[in-house]
Structure 1
Amino acid sequence: MSRPFSDHPDNANNPDRINKEDDLETDVDTTTAGKQAGARVSHNRSSVFVSRASDTGKPTLFNDEHGNLKFVNLICRRPVLIFFIAFSLCIASTLILRRVVKENPITEDTNQYNVRDIRSIAYDTLRLAKEEVKDTYDIHLENKRRLQDSEDDARLQEDFGDITLWIYDAKTDDGVFTKEGIPKIRAAEATILKQENYPEYCVLKYEALNQTTGEEYNFTTPECDKPLSAMNIYYASEWDSDLADEIINEFKSEPLNIMRFNALSLCVEFNFFCDRLPDIFNDEDKEWVTDMSTKMNFMIGKWDGMGELNPNIEQVTEFMAYMKELTTKQFSVNYFLDSNFNLTNQVTMYSRSIFYWGQLLNGTTNEEDSETKLKKFILENLLETWTGLTDKKNNEEVQIYYFMGALIFDIIQMILIGDGLKALGSFVFVFFYLRYMLGSWFLTAVGMFEIVMSLPLAWLSFSYIFQIKYFSALNVLCIFIVMAIGADDIFVFMDSYKQSAGMGADVLNSFETRMSWVYRRSGSAMLLTSITTCGAFLCTLFTPLAGTRSFGIFAAFVILFDYLLVMTLFCTSVVIYHDRFENKSCCYCKFWVKSTPTATETAMKRYSDGEVLKMDPISKFFKEKLGPFMLRGRNRIGVGVVLITWIILAAIYAAKLEPTTSAEQFLNESHPLQIGVSILTDEFPKTQEDRTTSIHLVWGLNEINRDGVNQLLDPEYVGKASYSSDFIFDEQCQSAILDVCSQLQTDENFEEFILRRDGVRSIDCFVEQLGAFNVDPSATCADVRIGDWTNADWEVSPDNLAASMDGFVSKSACGPDSATVKNYYEGSMGWDGKSMRYAGLSIESKSLDPRGVLSEDRTRVIYDKFIQLAKELDQKMESACKTKTTMTDLDQKFVFMNNQRIYRTTAISGSMIGVLVAFIVLFVSTRKLHLSLFATLCILSVLVGVIGSATMLGWTLGTIEAILISILAGFSVDYVIHLAHAYNHAEGEPDERILAAYGEMGVSVFSGMLTSVVASIPLFFCTLTFFAKFGTFLCLTIVLSWIFANFGFMCLLATFKVSMDRKWL
């Protein structure tokens, strides 16, 4: 191991550090081969690893007449000048970078996909067309928009600004809705409802719908919109127990009544599909459904949360269980009940509620000011109370969690700060370990400086010289990568410098000669590992994902600049250290005065006196203990058995690695935010109150034009929208689209794919509302649903389309919110103010939502179903609308599904390409097939070992795991290449070379391993899953790389003893 310079043998104040030749030979292997090898190494120490300059007398472009490197000569003559030039360039580059980077540099991953894939093509085809149509429409109606947006017409708190989402997790087997648990939930929600200033921040309702007449009426005074909570039911202002029993008994006494109600309710309540009713039902059945629906509507109408707790909790829960079974009533209770709640299991272990916050708030003029005011109110009045409610010791019945958009950024920021401090622990350890190993505060400071400076120099070159504008969030990982690799390079350089003190007169006859030897020897070793590591990272260029490619290129730049800084800035600091600090105590008053004699002169004198450089304990262990141990045949058999057994075991587990089948976690599973997200994702069915992903089927578009797209150089430009010149939105096309809407409402094959709202499949078909409007401009949404307008001439002719659309687009859409037709249907209605550029329909998915991430397999089932539908519709719609079907979502669910496939398929292939690169670099540099082959086998073993270990830890192949595996080769090549390089440049027989390689590189490799492993440990405890898994992955890779390099690679060399004289090229 490299040791503190206070222990360095060149220190003349400590003669105990000088040993004679016979001391060096102690503890060497007692075998004949070991004795002979040890004797030869100690007898001719200066001949081992010498890549020294030769005195040729003929200067070259890089060497002087003595064979010394001209650049090294310059450094030795002007170290301070060159140091400050390099130092100033680093500082200047950082200042330039700080000046040019004016905002968040990380590229949003909204365009992180394969631009040639059919999913991304369909996505951008509709997305860009939608944006372009919206821009055209806004320009066309600019004056009208200004008038509509006038503050005079605005009503305070009418729009939704934010929500507070409460999640309740039962602590007992009785569920959350118990006599003890319900009051706890009520108390939590009362912190909002009873807050005296709540009316100034809630969503205000200015109108309401009369449930009897169906007409809207205005409130005299706007009222706060009721929260969506089961407490509205348990604390209903009125509860008719007798009527509840009657309704329950109707279904309990005759279970077929549930089927009868569901079969008839859509017709009776909404006049839907009456012509499709089976003949077995008669008018009496319809009257029964009407009567039951009226009674249930009466009960539901009293669910306002304004009363006291209903003492008959069991009856309320049972009533909810029956409501959940009814197609047109389940929407009133589904949101509060978990997926396992049903008639036979009337216990819900989880529940949830939503409180709505309004905007614009009084005194604010825009959304940003309104959000700021709301956030201030929450922080000052509610946050502390909420934090207390979520404490695990708050009560023994219900664990409470909450989310709010206004607070998410602060929570994530706190998590990032906490994880950043943990990551800072890695830097602190590396700093003090460098200080211990180097024995100099000066060298340690410069070493850490050059490691850190690799990042801004790489950034400046990457983004502003080479103009690569896609800056991936993965690039943050390069901080830890360069910390591990940079420290390893410093150890290699310093160990070469220390070992040069014992290389004899050929190396020590001048300081320039000594530093040329150090520069060549360490530089060639680091160059080989840097090229291999850069090549491994550049293998990410084979992936079609711009974010991963960006990371690979940036990581390669970081490794390159780290190498350049070690060979310039750090090399210069070593010269300064040699000239001014090495033979002085740390408190020496004249520390800047040049040392006399210099450390090189001292080393030369010791060599002349016959003194031999004392090895530090760890170097001695590797050379005199581990080396001879590996030379014994029986020891190698034991090592081989252990390693082969491990490889077989790891390979078995690696083969079991499967793609993830659940949503991937963003935070540590124990973090309250992640617990809440997991509950929402895994424990509740999708309901109409949840935000869902819409799947769009549109006609009128050609595939997007991708000419000139290069995401690395211009991540924002992904192509141009393209419209079909053949598309005509005429009567035939309108009728065909309506037929598709009707087909999807009744096709049983889509029951598991389409969300229901109010008992009806949620299909947003603007043609329905347009047809009703064309027949009667005053038609209501109820009229649209009943469908009598289809009996008239409802289609709009192309000649009258512009006139009809002018009035139609400003009407309120028949959707769950108060958006206009233009805004609500913008994903399926491409009206730009003059013409219909595209038209179609949107389907709310029963499983997909914008925030959740499903596994690839689950998403693919949905995708395959709708892509099959699109292909079937092409046969019909191509003749009606003159274009093929474009099927996509606008939340990138299908795009990400393909990304998951890319991560899965390129993870292993990317690593294999990295291994191949390592083999090629090794073979070209050593021209020894057996060295290259043995090293490659060790790298492959590391790859298998890491993947197998990940499976043993319970990991599945998700996005994070795939990214880490794809860069595996970049981490696993350094140690085996260092030993291979040392073995290649050693002299003698294989046994001598093995001892020499251990003696030269064992300490450097061990120091690099220890630094990386300990530095990765703080990452284990990060809250962000990515950093926690990266820390585990880094630790596994480094440890296995070190084991297979020191035991696997050296065992192969010692066993096969291939002659180095054999020529392979």
Structure 2
Amino acid sequence: MATAGLTYDEVMAQSAQAKPQQGLVLDEAFDVIHQDDDKSEEEDFEDIEVEIKDDYVGRCTSVFVQYPRRVVVSILLITVLAMYATYLDNFSITVPSPYDWECPDDEYTLLRDAMMSAEDEADESKALTTRGDATFPFYYFYDSEPWNRDANCDGGIFTPQRLRAMCLAEEILTSNKEYQEDYCLLVNGTCATRSASVLQFFYDDAPCSLLDQARIDQGWAALQGNVFFVDKHAFQRGYACKARSIIYLGTPLTGYDETSKIGDDQALEMQEKLGSVMEQALWRSYDMEGHTLNSKYNQAARSSGMSVLWFAQPLAQREFSRLVNEDFLVAFASVLFVWCYLMYHLGSCFVGSMAMLQISVSLPLSLFFYRVVFRISYFAGMQILVVFVILGIGADDCFVFVDAWKQSLLLHDDTHKRLQYAYARALQSMANTSLTTAAAFLATAISPIMPIAAFGIYAAICVLMNYVLAMTMLPAVLIWHHNSSKCCTCSRTEIVEGGTCVERYLTILSWRKKIIAKILVLVLGGLSCTAAYLASRLEPPREPEEWFSQKHMFQQVADLIGGSNGGAYGANEDQAYDAFHVVFGIEGVSRDDFDPYVPSKRLASPDYVAIDLYEAQDAFLQACHLVETFAALVRPNTTLCFLREFQQWQTETYASTAMDRATFDSRLALFRDSTQPSNKLHGAWKAPVGIVNGELKYVRIDGRISMTQGAAIDERKKTLRRAQKLLKKIQQLDAPFLRPDKAFQVSGAWLWYETQVALVRGLTTGISIGFPVAFLVLTAATRNVILSLYAIVVIGCVVSGVLGLCYLLGWSLGIRESVAGVIVIGLAVDYTIHLGHMYDHARFHAHLATRDERTAYALRKMGRTVFAGAVTTAGAASLMFACQLTFFVQMACLIVFTIALSISLALGLYVPLLHVIGPEREQGNLWFLWRRLCPPKEKAAASEKRAASWRLDPVATTPAPRGLARPPSAPASVDSPPYGGAEA
């Protein structure tokens, strides 16, 4: 109805001119609900509302009408109490750990936990000295031809000026007091600063002076064959364009008795103390400046015509946390945008501000249930994404309710009756969208990948909580505003229904026997099929996930050393490859009280199986030989077989290998405590020789996988299959004392492979859950299988379109795409549900039967509302383009495109589909079919009689619509076709 801007009196004056309808109006059960042709519209609605005044809607709305301020204040007070309870529960932002993205119940995760828990139980090795293990590398990269600058590599990177610049860069770290006293790698009690630096070939321990060409040539000659330090084509070319160094940070630190792991207390200490000092010193040295939302690492560090880059895991963790906190500030900009749009669309500063407050309140209340009630402690960057999503969803709910409230002016001037109308309409419409959106988010909750599951749970709670607040706080706000004697100067009241754009669109759809509508259905349907084909070609990522932008220093480092092609260098150090282990003596693990939401705190206990290494020495050496020689599995010279070194040490120390069992055990313990592995990948024998409380419990063979860390999923799968074949050969050894049948192999590479597989499986599982749930909710909401089928097809087109865009952009099926593929169902379903609900609403409440009138009714009632919801959701998400982490930037792209595609297909495909082949009268109505097939026995005869009359009576065949269901300017007449179409 084109009544935008009309006041209540104007609408009622126009409506009074309409002639009363004649004919019989039937409900779904063929019961007469309007038979008195002389009764006015106002009397009709009065009779209806007298019947519902005492139901739950009437009771709820009476509370809002009588006590609006108390309701609002009570909700805000509850929110404050919930926030305080969350604070008392020690809520904090989770520090990322390397275990977060693992599948906690996967076979290889359990095997890794068994091995690591056994290592934790093992007795400390006395040979492990303070800071004697080269645990964390601090990388320096020097590039004379960086990708983001025009540079000439002629003559190479090893010139006097550039070598001196390299020396000064590394001296910033090596001359640092904290580094020298607390963190440097100690070799024989002395800091080993250049043991893995390219400068060892040129400077030795000399100061950073300008070298002459003869010394440089001598250093270049000594460097020949050491491909690790220069780019892969340097020796073929005759000069190097890139170079790199490593300065190791040693552990265990003073006060600790074991080597550090990423995320533990030692790593956090280095991150906070050394990391902050080093960052500031390096930034000052290279005049790197930045500000909020523009990291200093986005600036180039240059010296002597070359680019200087550095990287260390403690610095990366520190930078990631910093960027997450800064990117969260963008959420405040999104709040401001949605707030302004709410005030504009709702026509009131007060209502818009309170609606924004209602949306904001849903976040801490949801956090209370998430953290305190459900005991989920993980809250990190993924949950921040919920803020951007819930802003759009919450605004959409506000638009639905407030627009229904404004449109109630067409029917009543009584405040309670108006609220009853708006509440009843919004209650079902918002419940439909909230349930489907929450179900789509909960579909991610079954993911074995904890951050994705936690994100889905929190998002679903937020959606449901926002719905509860929209049905409690928002109606009280509307009554408060309505009753207030002081009106805001920016407040305006108008009836929002239809509008010029809606009427023009309806005219276009109906032009020349709906030819435009038919073309839209065919074209958009064909494009959706093409998008579905492209989406089917998505594959898991072949490269590591990118978390920083291309201009960020750490991403440039990742590109230099990573990737499926091995990066720019000829070889990486062995530590850059995943470790590989073959373990004997452990058969399982017990993880009592394991909390999947705190994976870094694993309370595991290994289950040992008895072995006798004294009797199984030959078998163990055979296993070492199999690991070393198995094709394309373990890198050369990385296999650590402790028994070989033990026998060699025994020969050198005792001149004989003959001994009894007691001597073997005592000498093995002495060897473990007095020597260190020749392979510098290990600082002590604690892990490979598992002596627990003085008794040998397990032994293992270590190595490094030959596959790069950035390998594609197919290569990972092939390498895993080779490792499984190796294990079968080991298990076939005739060595009952070694129990090879209980042996297992494990590597960190397998854990990430299972994560990649879980991402793909999670997407398909999420979609397989989200679509049926959406279909069931749609069917329950409309009780019309045809409407639901059309809607689910359109939602499928949206999902296909989004994933097809990912393929066109060259993205892979990684973390972002897997999450977005399921989220998109929840975001895409809103607009089609609203329009479908209004299409059905036209049949039951407005008593319209033809598809033309019901489509027009749906657009006039809900077209403006769904468009406003799309604007707020897309607008809030679009501000994430200002974020620094690529995760948020790409999610912004996905959400904005999802919303744009959803509203486009809802209005451009779903509406034309309804306009062309939408259900008419009772077509597809499940309740109608049920009543026809199984009518109540006592009313069967009467129902059949009424049905026959309905079929034969030309007036009753198309139940007369109420006057308010059509534009006042075109009153109905008994002499004209009942629905404005050609008379049957």
- The TM-score with structure 1 as length reference comes to 0.74
1:683 lines up with 2:568 in the alignment: yes
Give matches, 1:597-676, under 5 Å. Answer: 615=496, 619-632=498-511, 633-676=514-557
1:378 lines up with 2:278 in the alignment: yes
Question: What is the aligned counterpart of 1:731 among 605, 614, 631?
Answer: 614
Shift of 1:539: 1.9
User: Which residue pairs with 1:73 in the alignment?
Assistant: 62
1:576 lines up with 2:484 in the alignment: no
Question: What is the aligned counterpart of 2:786 among 930, 949, 957?
Answer: 930
Conservation of the 8 A alpha-carbon contact between 2:524 and 2:909 = yes
User: Which residue pairs with 1:493 in the alignment?
Assistant: 401
User: Which residue pairs with 1:231 in the alignment?
Assistant: 199
Q: 2:618 is aligned with what amino acid?
A: S
The two structures, once aligned, show a CA RMSD in angstroms of 4.1
Shift of 1:439: 2.8
Q: 1:944 is aligned with what amino acid?
A: S
Shift of 1:421: 2.9
Find the aligned partners of 1:205 and 1:115 in 2 and give their Cα distance. Answer: 33
User: Which residue pairs with 1:721 in the alignment?
Assistant: 606
Question: What is the aligned counterpart of 1:958 among 803, 809, 814?
Answer: 814
Q: Deviations over 1:75-110 (max 9, x none)?
A: 101111121111111121112212222443477561
Conservation of the 8 A alpha-carbon contact between 2:616 and 2:735 = no
Give matches, 1:281-680, under 5 Å. Answer: 308-311=211-214, 317=220, 320=223, 323-324=224-225, 333-343=226-236, 345-356=237-248, 374-375=274-275, 377-378=277-278, 381-387=281-287, 392=300, 394=302, 397-405=305-313, 407-469=315-377, 471=379, 473-503=381-411, 507-508=412-413, 510-580=414-484, 585=489, 615=496, 619-632=498-511, 633-680=514-561
Shift of 1:1035: 0.7
Q: 2:635 is aligned with what amino acid?
A: L
Shift of 1:160: 6.0
Question: What is the aligned counterpart of 2:140 among 166, 171, 180?
Answer: 166
Find the aligned partners of 1:809 and 1:843 in 2 and give their Cα distance. Answer: 19
User: Which residue pairs with 1:1009 in the alignment?
Assistant: 870
Q: 1:353 is aligned with what amino acid?
A: S
Shift of 1:338: 2.2
Q: CA 1:444–1:886 in structure 2 vs 1: closer, same or farther (change >3 Å)?
A: farther
Find the aligned partners of 2:114 and 2:827 in 1 and give their Cα distance. Answer: 39
User: Which residue pairs with 2:853 in the alignment?
Assistant: 992
User: Which residue pairs with 1:275 in the alignment?
Assistant: none
Q: CA 1:1008–1:455 in structure 2 vs 1: closer, same or farther (change >3 Å)?
A: same
1:694 lines up with 2:588 in the alignment: no
Q: CA 1:615–1:644 in structure 2 vs 1: closer, same or farther (change >3 Å)?
A: same
Shift of 1:176: 8.2
User: Which residue pairs with 1:187 in the alignment?
Assistant: 165
User: Which residue pairs with 1:87 in the alignment?
Assistant: 76
1:832 lines up with 2:735 in the alignment: no
Greater Cα offset, 512-521 or 180-189:
180-189
Shift of 1:232: 3.3
What's the secondary structure of 1:843's corresponding residue? strand
User: Which residue pairs with 1:35 in the alignment?
Assistant: none
Greater Cα offset, 526-535 or 400-409:
400-409
Conservation of the 8 A alpha-carbon contact between 1:496 and 1:521 = yes
Conservation of the 8 A alpha-carbon contact between 1:2 and 1:1004 = no
Greater Cα offset, 374-383 or 892-901:
374-383
Q: CA 1:714–1:405 in structure 2 vs 1: closer, same or farther (change >3 Å)?
A: closer
Find the aligned partners of 1:666 and 1:484 in 2 and give their Cα distance. Answer: 25
User: Which residue pairs with 1:596 in the alignment?
Assistant: none
What's the secondary structure of 2:245's corresponding residue? strand
Find the aligned partners of 1:363 and 1:655 in 2 and give their Cα distance. Answer: 55
Conservation of the 8 A alpha-carbon contact between 2:335 and 2:876 = yes
Find the aligned partners of 1:560 and 1:867 in 2 and give their Cα distance. Answer: 46
User: Which residue pairs with 2:644 in the alignment?
Assistant: 768
Shift of 1:1022: 2.1
Question: What is the aligned counterpart of 1:974 among 830, 841, 860?
Answer: 830
Question: What is the aligned counterpart of 1:1036 among 897, 908, 917?
Answer: 897
Shift of 1:352: 1.2
What is the total number of aligned residue pairs between the two structures? 875
Shift of 1:887: 3.7
Shift of 1:584: 5.5
What's the secondary structure of 2:471's corresponding residue? helix
Shift of 1:940: 0.5
Shift of 1:744: 3.6
User: Which residue pairs with 1:129 in the alignment?
Assistant: 118
Give matches, 1:795-810, under 5 Å. Answer: 798-810=661-673
Conservation of the 8 A alpha-carbon contact between 2:162 and 2:304 = no
Shift of 1:1004: 0.8
What's the secondary structure of 1:840's corresponding residue? strand
Q: 2:508 is aligned with what amino acid?
A: F
User: Which residue pairs with 1:117 in the alignment?
Assistant: 106
Q: Deviations over 1:346-365 (max 9, x none)?
A: 45443211234678999999
Shift of 1:835: 1.6
Q: 2:346 is aligned with what amino acid?
A: L
Shift of 1:985: 0.4
Structure 2: which 5+ runs fail to align? Answer: 19-36, 258-264, 290-296, 931-984
What's the secondary structure of 1:731's corresponding residue? coil
Conservation of the 8 A alpha-carbon contact between 1:539 and 1:910 = yes
Q: CA 1:78–1:884 in structure 2 vs 1: closer, same or farther (change >3 Å)?
A: same
Q: Deviations over 1:118-156 (max 9, x none)?
A: 32232223223323x23xx36xx9xxx8xx99xxxx98x
Conservation of the 8 A alpha-carbon contact between 1:888 and 1:894 = no
Find the aligned partners of 1:712 and 1:1060 in 2 and give their Cα distance. Answer: 52
Q: 2:435 is aligned with what amino acid?
A: I
Q: CA 1:566–1:807 in structure 2 vs 1: closer, same or farther (change >3 Å)?
A: same
Find the aligned partners of 1:1038 and 1:767 in 2 and give their Cα distance. Answer: 62
Conservation of the 8 A alpha-carbon contact between 1:705 and 1:720 = yes
Q: Deviations over 1:637-662 (max 9, x none)?
A: 33123313321331332233222211
Shift of 1:1010: 0.8
Shift of 1:855: 3.0
User: Which residue pairs with 2:675 in the alignment?
Assistant: 812
Conservation of the 8 A alpha-carbon contact between 1:234 and 1:310 = no
- The TM-score with structure 2 as length reference comes to 0.80
User: Which residue pairs with 1:245 in the alignment?
Assistant: none
Q: CA 1:652–1:919 in structure 2 vs 1: closer, same or farther (change >3 Å)?
A: same
Question: What is the aligned counterpart of 1:908 among 764, 770, 773?
Answer: 764
